[in-house]
Amino acid sequence: MTRDPFDWIDASAEARRRAGLVRTLRPRPAEPDLLDLASNDYLGLARHPEVTGAAARAAQRWGAGSTGSRLVTGTTELHAELEAELAAFCGFEAALVFATGYAANLAAVTALTPSGALIVSDAGNHASLIDGCRLSRAETSVVPHRDPDAFRKTLDGHDGPALAITDSVFSVDGDAAPLRELAAVCQEAGAGLLVDDAHGLGVLGDGGRGTAAEAGLSGAPGLVCTVTLSKSLGSQGGAVLGPAPVIEHLVNSARTFIFDTGLAPAAAGGALAALRLLRGEPGRAARARTVARELHQRLTSAGLESAAPDACVLSVRAPGPQAAVQWAADCRAAGIAVGCFRPPSVPDGISRLRLSARADMTEGDIAEACDVIIRTAPRG
**Helical H segments across 205-320, by residue range:** 211-214, 244-253, 255-258, 265-280, 283-301
For residue range 157-177, list pLDDT tens digits in order.
Answer: 899 999 999 999 999 889 999
Number of domains in the chain: 2
Q: Are residues 139 and 223 in the same domain?
A: yes
> Nearest Cα to 368, choosing from 37, 20, 10, 125?
37
- Whether residue 219 lies inside any domain: the answer is yes
Distance (Å, rounded) from C-alpha 149 to C-alpha 182? 9
Q: Which of 256, 280, 304 is the last residue of a domain?
A: 280
Rounded to 5°, angle at Cα 202 from 277 and 135: 125
Range of the domain at 302: 31-45+282-375
The pLDDT assigned to 287 comes to 98
**How deeply is 11 buried, as exposed, middle or buried, from its count of CB atoms within 10 A (0-12, 13-18, 19+)?**
exposed
Instruction: Tell me: do 189 and 297 sit in the same domain.
Output: no
376: left (phi over 0), alpha (psi -120 to 50) or beta: alpha
Question: If you count DSSP H runs as helices and E runs as strands, how many of each does the chain have, helices first?
Answer: 14, 11
* pLDDT at residue 2 tops 90: no
Q: Is 205 left (phi over 0), alpha (psi -120 to 50) or beta?
A: left
In this structure, the answer to whether residues 40 and 54 fall within a common structural domain is no
Residues 38, 93, single domain; the answer is: no
Would you say residue 315 lies in a domain?
yes
Residue 88 within a domain: yes
72 and 167 both lie in a single domain: yes
Same-domain check for residues 123 and 222: yes
The edge-to-edge listing of strands for the beta sheet with 238-242 is 94-98, 238-242, 223-228, 192-196, 162-167, 118-122, 139-143
Q: Are residues 314 and 250 in the same domain?
A: no
Q: How do residues 94-112 score in pLDDT, each as one tens digit?
A: 999 999 999 999 999 999 9
- Domain annotation covers residue 5: no
56 assigned to some structural domain: yes
Residue with more model confidence, 350 or 93: 93
Task: Indicate whether 1 belongs to any domain.
Answer: no
**pLDDT band at 206, cuts 50/70/90?**
very high
Stretch 323-348: mean pLDDT: 91
Do the domain assignments include residue 7?
Answer: no
Length of the chain: 380
The CATH number covering residue 37 comes to 3.90.1150.10
Domain-located, residue 193 = yes
Judge if 38 and 107 occupy the same domain: no
* 120 φ/ψ angles, rounded to the nearest 5 degrees: -115, 115
pLDDT at position 118 over 70: yes
CATH code (residue 226): 3.40.640.10
Same domain, 111 and 211: yes
Q: pLDDT of 216-251, one tens digit each?
A: 999 999 999 999 999 999 999 999 999 999 999 999
Mean pLDDT over 300-311 rounds to: 96
Q: What is the dihedral of CA 265, 271, 273, 277, to 10 degrees?
A: 180
If asked whether residues 80 and 174 sit together in one domain, one would say yes
Q: 68 to each of 58, 98, 343, how far by Cα in Å?
A: 16, 12, 37
- Helix extents (H) in 20-142: 49-62, 77-90, 101-111, 127-135
- Show Cβ contacts of residue 325 under 8 Å, excluding neighbours closer than 6 positions: 20, 340, 342
